[in-house]
Structure 1
Amino acid sequence: MAREFEIRREVVLPATPEQVFEAVTTGTDGWLFPVADEAGALPGPQAPGVTAWEPPGRFAVRTEGEGGWFNALEYRIEPRGEGSARLRYTHGGVFAEDYDTEYDSCAQHTDFYLHTLGQYLRHFAGRPAVFADVQGPPASAGADGFALLLDELHLDQEVRVGDRLSVDLPEIGVLDAEVDYRTPQFLGLRSHDGLYRFFGRNAFGAPVGVALHLFGEGADRAKAGQAWQSWLDGLYAG
């Protein structure tokens, strides 16, 4: 049975309201995923679904579907001085199936995405980003799917946020990065030119995923995506 949900978060970000507004509207490649439409157009005050465009203080968007379905996001941005801002974020919508699982998944994804927004603003704000999204094969949805990925990265329980790792991955090469986020289902790594996000979605009945936000000169979306896809496929082939 379909039920409405609402998730609210409040975070302090290391950027001006103007920088935050740009990041949550036209700069999402660097921390979330691309929001351009099929024609390549970025959001603006007249874009379909935009219900509030009040730079730099408020942005909201809503989409609707059949049977009362909707998905709505609102970003309220307040200045705090000294180059920082407070973001009040609200995500509302409808879950049609397993409400508890979907809510838990959405809430945890929200925390991870907003953390990544902070990492982007602190380390890469304004830099062009190449985004690639890679999904593991069906086998990665098993109970030990994310644990296998962590083992391959040589991340045992003792590795915490702030620790560094250097690992040579088949198809990819050496990944030298700092752990910037870690929970049982999510892992964030930050290198000098990229944010690497790992999603243990097997906890919610879906395959493991990897999102790449690459800021290095000459970063190639197709090449990076193919390399990480090959690594994931090989990891779960056995």
Structure 2
Amino acid sequence: MSKEFEIVREFEVDATPEEVWEAITHETGGWLWPMEYDGESGIGPFGSTLTNWDPPHRVTSRTEDVRFPTQSLNQLDHTIEPRDGGRRAWVRYVHSGIFTDDWDSQYDGASKHTDFYLHTLREYLTHFAGRPVAFATLHGPGASTAADAFVAVGRALGLADDTEQGARVTVRGPAGRELDAVVDYRNPYFLGLRTDDALLRFFGRNHWGAPVGISVHDFAPDADAKADESGWQDWLDGVFDQS
């Protein structure tokens, strides 16, 4: 049965409103995935309509014909206000729309993803704002939908089950390469690792019946998105190799 939803988050960040605006509307590959906003034409990501375009204060994108089996309407609204004389910014984020099926699970997944994405936005603004990025995203095999799949991912990285957010760690990446990182986010559903040149995001979407996912935001001068995708895909497939 169709039912409306609304997810609201508010936060402050050590960035100017202009920096936040750029991150939300033009530098999206640094923390979410590459998207295009065209304020002059009023067209937002994935063919959405921009019902508000007031840089650097507010942007709203609305899609009324969502091509997704469990959703028929989607709207994203960002309001940005200056704090501390414009040296910091306050952000209000509202995600609303209509879920058409499996409402509780859809809302739970969207809400938890929101917290992780907005955390990643703050990490980007704090550590990498304005740097060119190579973005890659990938998904695990069918076996990564198992109930314990995300636990297996953490262990494959070399993390103890009780390694907490904020810990400095050395993890095992593609081809056995060791990566020094900070665990910038961790709960049973998501894991964020921040290196000197990258934000590595791990998604425990097995909790909602989907494969585990990884996104790589690589800010190194020689970053190669295809190489990142290939290397982490091999790594993730290897975690669930049953042979």
Residue 75 of structure 1 corresponds to 78
Letter of the 1:71 partner, please give it: N
Instruction: Say if 1:30 and 1:170 are closer, same or farther in 2 by CA, change over 3 A.
Output: closer
* Aligned residue type for 1:30: G
- The answer as to whether partners of 2:154 and 2:161 remain within 8 angstroms in 1 is no
Relative to structure 2, which stretch is displaced further, 165-174 or 93-102?
165-174
Partner of 2:161: 157
User: In the aligned structure 2, how far is the partner of 1:69 from the partner of 1:167?
Assistant: 41
Q: Which residue of 1 aligns with 2:108?
A: 104
In the alignment, is residue 25 of structure 1 matched against residue 28 of structure 2?
Answer: no
Where structure 2 has 5 or more consecutive residues not aligned to the other structure, the ranges are 44-48
- One-letter code aligned to 2:5: F
Distance in 2 between residues matched to 1:91 and 1:27, nearest whole Å: 19
What is the aligned partner in structure 1 of residue 55 from structure 2? 55
- Give the share of equivalent positions with the same residue, in percent: 48
8 Å CA contact 1:172–1:228 kept in 2: the answer is no
Distance 1:156 1:169 in 2: 15
C-alpha distance after superposition, 1:71-107 (max 9, x if no partner): 1000000101162100000001121221111100000
Q: Name the stretch that deviates more: 167-176 or 199-208.
A: 167-176
Match among 185, 189, 195 for residue 193 of structure 2: 189
5+ long unaligned stretches in structure 1: 37-41
**Runs of 4+ residues over 3 Å off in structure 1:** none
Structure 2 letter corresponding to 1:43: D
Aligned-partner Cα distance in 1 for 2:172–2:13: 33
Question: 1:165 & 1:181 partners in 2: Cα distance?
Answer: 13
Contact preservation (8 Å) 2:155, 2:161? no
CA distance in 2, matches of 1:186, 1:129: 22
- Which letter does structure 2 place at the counterpart of 1:44? G
Give runs of aligned pairs for residues 31-180 of structure 1, distance below 5 A.
31-36=31-36, 42-48=37-43, 49-65=49-65, 69-81=72-84, 83-171=87-175, 173-180=177-184
Q: CA deviation at 1:169?
A: 2.9
TM-score (norm 2): 0.92
Q: Is 1:225 equivalent to 2:225 in the alignment?
A: no
Cα deviation code 1:161-207 (max 9, x no counterpart): 11111123343622211000111101110000000011000011110
> Is residue 26–residue 43 contact of structure 1 (8 Å, CA) maintained in 2?
no
CA-atom RMSD in angstroms = 1.6
Say which SS state the counterpart of residue 69 (structure 1) adopts: strand
CA contact (8 A) 1:32 1:113 kept: yes
Is the contact made by 1:141 and 1:206 (CA closer than 8 Å) also made in structure 2?
Answer: yes
Alpha-carbon distance between aligned partners in 2 of 1:224 and 1:23, rounded to the nearest angstrom: 22
- Alignment TM-score, normalising by the size of structure 1: 0.94
- Secondary structure at the residue paired with 1:162? coil
Q: 1:66 to 1:166 in 2, by over 3 A?
A: closer
SS in 1 for 2:175: coil
Once the 2 structures are TM-superposed, how far is the Cα of residue 14 of structure 1 from its aligned partner?
1.2
Q: Which amino acid aligns with 1:103?
A: Y
User: Match for residue 46 of structure 2?
Assistant: none
Partners of 1:76 and 1:167 in 2: CA distance: 37
Q: Any conservation in 2 of the 1:172–1:227 contact (CA below 8 Å)?
A: no
Q: Which amino acid aligns with 2:225?
A: R
